């Protein structure tokens, strides 16, 4: 078993303690953000495209047409979406799809051939 001198051990412990402190600060920041958003959270383009099963270009079209609310949070054009507003968007799409459906006009009586004959 390799020998670790006291100085090296102290450096390793300090490095770990600093890492834990960074994690703790990040968790506190995340909790403050969650409190600020009343428990809601933001989704980015990648997350939302995956969730909806569409491309990022389709999301851009939704934004251009005003179909989905979004937030530009910096000068780089980073786009975020509130999860609660995304839920509302999905529900509204569901309702519009349901109201636009026509009754299924396929013949529901079909003959099944008995394969045992």
Helices (H), the chain: 6-36, 45-52, 56-64, 83-100
CA distance readout (Å), 1 to 4, 5, 12, 13, 16: 9, 13, 17, 19, 22
Answering whether pTM is above 0.75, one says no
Are 29 and 70 members of one domain?
Answer: no
Residues linked to residue 44 through DSSP beta bridges, in sequence order: 80
Are 44 and 91 members of one domain?
Answer: yes
The CA distance from 113 to 22, in Å, is 69
**Structure tokens of 104?**
């299924």
Are 75 and 50 members of one domain?
Answer: yes
Which residue bears the tokens 């349901």?
A: 98
Say which CATH number the domain at 61 has. 1.10.10
Are 47 and 91 members of one domain?
Answer: yes
Domain with 21, as residue range(s), is: 1-36
State the total domains in the chain: 2
Q: In this predicted model, what pLDDT tens digit does every residue of 9-59 receive, in sequence order?
A: 999 999 999 999 999 988 887 666 666 667 788 889 999 999 999 999 999
- Nearest 10 degrees: CA dihedral of 6, 12, 15, 16? -120
Tell me if 20 is assigned to some domain: yes
Pairing of strands 79-82, 42-44: antiparallel
Are 74 and 31 members of one domain?
Answer: no
Q: In this predicted model, what pLDDT tens digit does every residue of 54-96 receive, in sequence order?
A: 999 999 999 999 999 999 887 787 899 999 999 998 888 887 6
Are 52 and 67 members of one domain?
Answer: yes
């Amino acid at each position: 078993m390799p020998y670790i001198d006291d100085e090296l051990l102290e450096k390793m412990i300090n490095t770990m303690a600093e890492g834990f402190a960074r994690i703790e600060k990040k968790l506190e920041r995340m909790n403050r953000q969650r409190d600020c958003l009343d428990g809601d959270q933001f989704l980015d383009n990648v997350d939302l495209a995956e969730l909806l099963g569409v491309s990022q270009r389709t999301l851009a079209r939704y934004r251009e047409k005003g179909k989905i609310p979004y937030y530009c949070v910096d000068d780089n054009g980073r786009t975020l979406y509130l999860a609660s507003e995304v839920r509302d968007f999905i529900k509204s799409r569901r309702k519009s799809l349901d109201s636009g459906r026509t009754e299924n006009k396929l013949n529901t009586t079909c003959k099944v051939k008995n394969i045992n004959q």
